[in-house]
Amino acid sequence: MKDILVLRDLEQIKAISHPYRVEVFGTFEGDQPQSAKQVAEKLGEPHAKVNYHIKSLLKVGILELVDEKVKSGIIEKYYQPAAHKLIIDKSFMQNVDEDVLQSINQASLSIFEKISEDFYKAAEKAIDQPKFINHHNDYYLTNTEVKELIQKIEELTKDYLSDKNDKTREDTNSYSIAILGIPKVKSQKKRG
């Protein structure tokens, strides 16, 4: 499995922009392949629904078929993500038409919804594990500064998390780590 898959095709962006596919993608942990049946059990969803979305991600190269096993006369297919992380190619951001922009916005919204869901589940449970939000508000950055900040955060995160994929290490808990940078949009005042 690659570390990063750069999405260079509109069909890839559209495929991962579906909220349920983000959820399916999120069930894969580390380098462990899973069958559609295993993903369906994790999500508590019908096998046919999960299988449909897995095939959509497989078609565009976000998931890969890595093994087939015969169990009770039935061929069970095992999949894993093509990469640990997905990023959108910068060239999409230069000549953005309405269709591309809508797909990128939907993909971002789907990921944010998944992060929000994880956050609320963790907040509702009284568990003895650290939870944190690091929020900085009202900073004014140029586009160049934002790109520099993203690059520094990516380097630090990649370096720090590079050896943290092993869930068999003692005293570990699974975490979803999200770093958001959102341009503030001023709301327009209504005239009455």
Residue 53: the pLDDT is: 94
Read off the pLDDT of residues 28-58 as tens digits, 9 standing for 90 and up: 877 789 999 999 998 889 999 999 999 999 9
Report how far apart, in Å, the C-alpha atoms of 70 and of each of 4, 74, 75, 77, 130 are.
31, 5, 4, 9, 42
CA distance 110 to 142: 26
Domain formed by 2-127, architecture: Orthogonal Bundle (1.10)
How much is the average pLDDT of 154-178? Answer: 80
| pLDDT confidence band for 191 (50 / 70 / 90) | low
Read off the pLDDT of residues 99-111 as tens digits, 9 standing for 90 and up: 766 766 777 777 7
Which residue from 84, 180, 114 is spatially nearest to 106, judged by alpha carbons?
114
Q: How many CA atoms lie within 13 A of 120 on its CB side?
A: 5
CA distance 134 to 156: 15
Q: Distance between alpha carbon 142 and the CA centroid of its chain, in Å?
A: 26
Question: In this structure, are strands 74-81 and 63-71 parallel, antiparallel, or unpaired?
Answer: antiparallel
Residue 107 is which amino acid? A
Which residue from 66, 60, 56, 62 is spatially nearest to 83, judged by alpha carbons?
62
Looking at residue 190, the DSSP 8-state letter turns out to be P
What residue spans define the domains of the chain?
Answer: 2-127
Read off the pLDDT of residues 56-84 as tens digits, 9 standing for 90 and up: 999 999 999 999 998 888 889 999 999 88
Residue 66: the pLDDT is: 94
The answer to whether residue 192 scores a pLDDT higher than 70 is: no
**Is residue 91 classed exposed, middle or buried when 0-12, 13-18 and 19+ CB atoms within 10 A define those classes?**
exposed
